[in-house]
Chains A and B, each alone.
Chain A
Amino acid sequence: MSMDNLKISPALEKYMTKEYRDLVERGPYGKQKKVSEMGTFKEIIEEHPMCAGCAMTLFIRLTMIGLPNPEHTILVGTAGCGRLALSQTSIPFIYGNYGDTNAVASGLKRGLEMRFPEQPKDVVVMAGDGGLADIGFSTVLHSWFRKEKFTTIMLDNEVYGNTGGQESGMTERGAILKMAPKGKKYEKMDMLGLAKTANVPYIVRMTVTNPTRVASVVRKAVLIAREIGPTFIQAYTSCNIEYAIPTPKVIDDAKSLEAERYGFQEFISDEAKAFLESIEPKKAKATKSTED
């Protein structure tokens, strides 16, 4: 997609829906919007059927603000809660088979690089913990080892929320769920450690407690993925249904978990840091590396 594809042909203008016309005239295309401007511009996502008060919805909403060029972005997803909102964005969304998200994204990114050598096209994989850490595990790791240049965002709700609450690889040990009544017996998978082993140049673990940070991290991840290599964001997006969190407490829950075991971590390679500094000299200084 590009700006030309978005514009409405004058002859067809009266037939287009109000939502689409609003999006073209007052949408975020062509200009980077800030989190503080939210509510004053038409957002990329339309109405969607995700649950009330879902932290994943909030994270996806903030991700769409963080995308540096939404008009040159393609989303790849798979079965899971996230697709319900992702499919309602005015960004091309590819609904892959379960498990092949990063394989599809690898091919897509290489194809786009050949087809559009002048214009960088961003590919962003957004799927749940089940789609990336369990079923799509092999394609995720292989795409990292091959140094494929796209962003992988894991919406980690620590459960299969869509199918009735089965434990996933990312569920915390001992967590009791509807389909794991005796509690999970095994440890939570260390995806950050695996990403480090695969030498992913930009790895972040975060929650939704700081909207500005979510948008800036997504922006950095997408920019680094253009030039340097794969990037990975693991975001805690609680499932208020399966974990029985009252919706007004969703942000409080994210905060307490952030303090307990899901604190913000950012690993950035020297090469990626130098690249960020070269394109945004001022901003990159504020980036604090927590790399040991």
Chain B
Amino acid sequence: MYLVAHVDTSICSETACKLCTQFCPETNTILYDNDKKTAFVAVDRCKACEICVSICDTMAKHHAIKMIMITELENPFEMNKAGFNPAKWKELPETVVLEKVAK
């Protein structure tokens, strides 16, 4: 079980700052979808350094990125499976954050 960065697409799509894509140390990990106008994370490449979280919170002030347990994500984007092909990103199932089981 480990944490990965997760972009809240509803917040991100309202801005166009793209700062997280520029400050992420890993290549092709925070990707940008030009159609949906939002950043999103390739979870198999994320090393959970949280630089994007601090950039989004302090520099961009959008608070759109959170660290989240990998098991709480349904249909996360994986670069190994999907490959880098923006034209086919539309066909992929949408990533859903599973609701935590109520205590």
Q: Which residues of A contact B (CB under 8 A)?
A: 18-19, 21-22, 26, 35-36, 38-40, 42-47, 50-55, 57-58, 61-62, 211-212, 247-252
Contact = CB atoms under 8 A, between A and B. Distances in A.
B66 interface: no
Nearest to A46: B27
Interface of B: 18, 21-28, 30-32, 34, 39, 45, 47-51, 53-55, 58-59, 83-86
Contacts of B83: 18-19, 21-22
A53 B47 contact: yes
A39 B39 contact: yes
B32 A40 contact: yes
B54 A249 contact: yes
A54 B26 CA distance: 9
B71 to A, nearest CB: 20
A54 B25 contact: yes
Contacts of B55: 251
Contact of B85 (A22, A46, A54): A22
A39 B21 CA distance: 6
Most buried by A among B26, B59, B83: B26
B22 A40 contact: no
Given A26-B85, A40-B32, A52 B47 contact: yes
B22 A250 contact: no
Contact of A211 (B22, B31, B50): B22
B47 A252 contact: no
A46 B45 CA distance: 10
Given A40-B31, A57-B26, 9 more contacts: A18-B83, A38-B22, A39-B30, A39-B39, A40-B86, A52-B47, A52-B48, A52-B49, A251-B59
Given A18-B83, A249-B54, A250-B49, A58 B23 contact: yes
Contacts of B48: 52
B14 to A, nearest CB: 17
